[in-house]
Structure 1
Amino acid sequence: MIRFSLTRLRTLVIGGLMAAGLLSFPGIALASTVTPPDDPASRGARPPYSVLHMNVCLSGYAGCYPRTQYPKIVDEVVERIQANDVNAVTLNEACSGDVAEIAERTGYHYRFATVVYNGAPLACKSPGGRGEFGNAVLTKEAIRAAEDAPYSRFSGVEQRRWLCVTTARGVDVCTSHLSTDGEAAGSTNSTQCAELAQVLAARGRPTVFAGDVNRRSSCAPQGHWTLTDADATQAPGIQHAYGNLTAPALELEQTTYTDHDALVIRAGLPK
């Protein structure tokens, strides 16, 4: 005859109930043998290269500046970089000191292109001490090289420039902010648009551009796709992305502290 002690019997009964899922105790987690499917959807897979673009209106002179509630716009940029976990960021109407702070808070590398205004660099104001006005590219990967140059024409007193960086990953990321005199043939904006197309066509590497081009028709060179913020809630249609990466997709995010929506571009890298 097989004898069980009362304690032994209780142990067997409780163990059986727990194994059957009929009994549980607070603080005790039962191991699961279910393995989630190994597919891209379950892993939340995304294309391997992504760029965030924002026009941040930080000079302190423009009519949109009060909306930034400085420094809240800087916090918003940092939050969007971290939330989207992008490889690169392009910023228009930025200030060099604010860009340096954003880079420090996110751990990104950066290059800044100062815009000449009335023949000299423009110091950002309200508050001062934030450096000079211009455009920036920030990247998660190290920057191996950078180039920037003015266009041959500009309207008014603000010089317009393009900026491109080459990352350690072998991707070129570019930005620019074009003039606002319209896109009719012969306008300054159209001249800058044509020159920008030449710059992008000559890069010779996987390239992505994002910027406020102040026009609705594309400046992309032949062989590059075009994405625009035509569905934006603010100033739709004038911020563009161009590139020769594969399968591009655009996400628009409504911003709180600037007068343009944010663009998030995701695409594949050519093999």
Structure 2
Amino acid sequence: MRVGLAAMAVAVGAMMIGAPLDAPAATSTVKVLQLNICHSGVAGCYTGERVMTKAISVISSTRPQVVSVNEACSGDVERLRAAMGPASTMFVAAQRPAGNPVLCVNGQEYGNIIMVAADLAGGPGVSGRFTAQDSSTEMRAWACLPAGVLSACTTHLSARDSSAAMAQCRELLARAVSYAGTAPTVVAGDFNLRYQGNPNIQNCNPAGFYRKGDGSVQHVFATTSLAFVSTTRIDMSGTTDHPGWLVTVTRG
């Protein structure tokens, strides 16, 4: 499952930012922010710099400990991390069938970002391409930052084939279950699956986890060791076709 392609390895390695040696004491409140910023330049929801300005503002104002970003360009990572503060950060590119990365119109790699605040982060990240894929030329991928005080993953699942999306969801949540034995774990992203849809994303929820969705296709899964506090739907002011989705939990 680990990505072995040189292009992606370089991208992932370049985007890793380690926690400082003197990290502050870990907070018990954990805010998980999910964003789909539609920043490839290809889709009709693209609004250019407007969405980056809005995303930076949302991160700065909500002060999350975990941020998951879908439909991002590799050059977006550091700008978003700067808004968050000290964090371990990983970018994973979606791939073409031959293994080369999908590109944004600006030539940067296109994919997903996961960021975890330095006081919660652990070791190096891992990423991979799902076993199940649809018939498009965009191969969906996942990225995780495991082994810290908290483990976290992000993904953006198939939009063309809901059966493939469900298989992808189950594959990633099985990985999350393996992390949950070591630390509380969250998985966030645009799953392109709905609650009570066909298939129903709730059928992807494993034992020991619960799910909080935005009423559409964005969801956060969390281990039951993280007590649920609240959810907040964030208006992105027309800069993307998805709201921001903030889930607040606490660690026991």
Q: Which residue of 1 aligns with 2:113?
A: 136
- Taking structure 1 as the reference length, the TM-score comes to 0.72
Q: Residue 133 of structure 2 aligns with which residue?
A: 154
Letter in 2 for 1:228: G
Asked if structure 2 preserves the Cα contact closer than 8 Å seen for 1:182 and 1:214, the reply is no
CA distance in 2 between counterparts of 1:105 and 1:85 reads: 9
SS of the residue 1:98 aligns to: helix
Q: What code does the residue aligned with 2:221 have? A: Y
- 1:261/1:167 Cα in 2 relative to 1: closer, same or farther (>3 Å)? farther
Task: Evaluate the alpha carbon distance shift between residue 108 and residue 118 of structure 1 in structure 2; reply closer, same or farther with a 3 A threshold.
Answer: farther
Change (3 A) 1:269 1:226: same
1:192 aligns with 2:168: yes
1:260: how far off? Answer: 0.3
Mean Cα deviation higher: 96-105 or 71-80: 96-105
Structure 1 position 62, deviation (Å): 1.3
**Counterpart contact for 1:253–1:262, Cα < 8 Å:** yes
The residue type equivalent to 1:133 in the other structure is: Y
1:164 aligned to 2:144? Answer: yes
Contact 1:182 1:215 in 2 (8 A): no
Bigger CA drift: 81-90 or 113-122?
Answer: 113-122
**Number of the residue aligned with 1:62:** 43
Q: How many angstroms apart in 2 are the aligned matches of 1:201 and 1:93?
A: 25
What are the within-5 Å matches in structure 2 for residues 199-218 of structure 1?
199-203=175-179, 204=181, 205-216=183-194, 217-218=201-202
5 Å-filtered alignment, 1:4-153, equals: 48-65=29-46, 68=47, 70-109=48-87, 110-119=89-98, 120-125=100-105, 128-129=106-107, 131-141=108-118, 142-153=121-132
Q: Which runs of 5+ in 2 are unaligned?
A: 1-26, 195-200
After TM superposition, give the deviation of residue 143 of structure 1 in Å.
4.8
In the other structure, the counterpart of 2:197 is none
Contact 1:165 / 1:172 at 8 angstroms: preserved in 2? Answer: yes
The question of 1:177 aligning with 2:156 is answered yes
Q: Is the 8 A contact 1:209 1:242 kept in 2?
A: yes
Query: Residue 226 of structure 1 corresponds to which residue in structure 2?
Result: 211
- Quote how far apart the aligned CAs of 1:105 are: 4.5
- Indicate if the aligned counterparts of 2:186 and 2:221 stay in contact, CA closer than 8 A: yes
> Could you tell me which residue of structure 2 aligns to residue 26 of structure 1?
none
Shift of 1:262: 0.5
Match of 2:20 in 1: none
Change in CA separation of 1:84 and 1:104 when aligned onto 2, cut-off 3 Å: closer
Q: 1:189 is matched by which residue type in structure 2?
A: A
| Structure number with larger C-alpha Rg | 1
User: CA 1:167 to 1:193, structure 2 compared with 1: closer, same or farther past 3 Å?
Assistant: closer
Q: Structure 1 pair 123/137, CA: closer, same or farther in 2 (3 Å)? A: same
- Quick one: which amino acid aligns to residue 208 of structure 1? V
Instruction: Please report how far the alpha carbon of residue 191 of structure 1 lies from its aligned counterpart in structure 2 after TM superposition.
Output: 1.4
Unaligned stretches of 5+ in structure 1?
Answer: 1-45, 231-236
Task: Provide the rounded CA distance (Å) in 1 between the counterparts of 2:229 and 2:83.
Answer: 28
Moved over 3 A (4+): none
CA contact (8 A) 1:139 1:167 kept: no
Q: Which amino acid aligns with 1:202?
A: S
- 1:179-201 superposed Cα distances (whole Å, 9 cap, x missing partner): 02343xxx211211221221111
- Aligned partner of residue 53 in structure 2, secondary structure: helix
2:167 aligned partner, one-letter code: T
Q: Which residue of 2 aligns with 1:10?
A: none
Structure with higher RCO (Cα < 8 A, 6+ apart): 2
Paired AA for residue 170 in structure 2: A
